[in-house]
Structure 1
Amino acid sequence: MIFWILIAVLTAGVAGLLIAPLMKPRPQPTTAREDEAAVYRDQMKEIDRDLALGLLGEKEADYARAEIGRRLLAATDAPQRGLTPAALPRPHRITTLLVILCPPIVGLAGYLMLGSPGMPDQPLAARLANPGNNIELLIAKAERHLAQNPNDGAGWDLLAPIYMRSGRFADADQAFRNSIRILGATPQRLAGLGETMVAANQGIVTDEARGFFEKAVELEPGNMRSRFYVALGLEQAGRKPEALAAFNAIKRDSPPGAAWESLVNQHIAANSENAPGNPSAADVAAAQNLSGQDRQAMIAGMVESLAERLKSDPKNIEGWLRLVRSYMVLGREQDARNALQTGLKTFPAETDEGQRLVALAREIGLGEGIVQ
């Protein structure tokens, strides 16, 4: 209420400053009688000049002075017929007052009729209590509540997916973990935590994330989304036979025409033992007996060998898919981007093969800046 009163006062003040020049009295105009008196004075001076030049006698000059003096007195004694110095036309005064007073009066009256002058300003706490559809206020409200009630599992359960959709992956990770710790593990919470970790790692399914997906599948075997991430994690870890079996199982258990059927078929083709560029069964068996460092060296060697083969045989879509994935598993993102660019030169994005490369780029987080 005080704020609006101040606005009204300021409005009146500004209007007053703008109209102030109009309120000043105008200079009094010269009247006709003043002009007449000036003429008589000039005639007096002319009589003196004529007398000095000998054009008039003394007696004639006295008569003339007497007559002109009489007329001069009559002119100066008459009342003034102009405006007084402070005079201002009445209509002009009324217009000025209306301009000054009407805007603040109308504004204040409108606020009193349509507004809520008796309602105090809403502090942050009041706005948080009624956030409406403001997502930022909803998050702030939930965060304030959880700061005071850190063991409210339902609050963490509600906030976690909101963090996820907002791109706040670290906060989402913590929120999912809190909800699981307080309320227990469910397929949805476990899968949500796993997907948060995948998003935070640019599409890479880490061993920890795959573990959460596997727990989700144990609780809900029909959860195809979690099963897909398990299979993808196995593929990215170089465990191709296991990944192929997992993708085949997803295809077998999926309803006809499932939305994910095409994507699963792509991974089945990429993980088949006869797919160009994939390691043989003997390679996989040999790798099982190696130390972690030696296994990584063996994988890196196979990846470089595949890259060399693709230079001489670029018309190998399965090889390009395998190479891009392998570089990402090894943490060589720039090499993966370069391989993707080269593959798209061989298989443009508008072709079926190019679309597979585009889908892979989006899946593992390489789409931005490469795929239009």
Structure 2
Amino acid sequence: MLFWILAALLTFVAAFAVLRPFAMRQAPTEDARAYDIEVYRDQLEEVDRDAKRGLIGQQEAEQARAEIGRRILQVSETADGRNEKRANRRVTRLTAAASVLAVPLVSWGLYVLTGSPDMPAQPLHARTAAEPADASIDELVARAETHLATNPDDARGWQVLAPVYMRLGRFADAQTALQNIMRLSGETADMKAALGEAMVGAARGMVTAEAEEVFEQALDLDPKEPKARFFLGLSRAQEGATEEAQTIWRGMLEDLPEASPWREAAQQAIAQSGGAGAADRGPSEDQVAAATDLSETDRQAMIEGMVKGLDEKLRQNPADLEGWRRLIRSYIVLQRPDAAKEALVRAVAAFGAETPETGELKEFAANLGVTIE
């Protein structure tokens, strides 16, 4: 009920503010029309008297009467114009009033017909206090954040919230949650590795120097921590040190159990970097779309690293036609059309504008939606 009272009050205030200029009457002005006409009539009578007494000639009297008549006509026309303006202002006021009043009437009527005026209010507190099964993920996160705002030392709450932040792509919030977990429960290798992963996610798949330092700290606590080892290998691959990256991933394979999901990640990383008998050509289309067992952050970081490694190899060996195909296709899969176009330009420069290889590459790229002049 309070809502409707406030809505009606605000609507009335808004309508009054709009209509007030139209409702205000202009300050009354002295209408001298009747007075002027009376004066002119007296002047006509005076002209007639002077003509009868012979004080003015007949021609002069006619001229005076014509001039006075012209003035009377001018006063009448002015009065008609004022009356027309008053009528126009009246129509404008009525139109404005009807338009302004129609807005709330029509909107309220439509809401009554199509809305839910009887639905009870649902403030944030009531929504967050509802059953978890009936709440959305955003409401659950909001509930957890409200709880942790008043209970920042609840380690269990931060442990629940950290992986949710990662899945939602809120990497900065995930870092805060992981740091609070380590503040309350102590530093562990898996928490350090998770913190580094959040940093990689915030950097859009690039292993920054700060993230690399965190992964090194994780390995100081547990030299076999798989996530830290994988991302350190990825860091080396992104730097162009492919052999060093492969060494790190092969070391992972020696220590990982058969059921570990990181085993497949390491194998794919080695294959995509050109190791284990694979052609030294970078990731294929299927390889870029693989790694479904990894998290989104891990998969994106691995793909970005492999594509960067292929790019570096083509800068050193630009005569690899198949490598150029894979690089262009990989950038399209990663939804980076500008990078794909730039790669095509480099390939054309490497092979020459009129060579068969260039024609073949242009046709291949055009099928993917990449063209150059």
Higher radius of gyration, 1 or 2: 1
TM-score range relative to shorter protein: 0.3 to 0.5
TM-score (norm 1): 0.43
TM-score (norm 2): 0.43
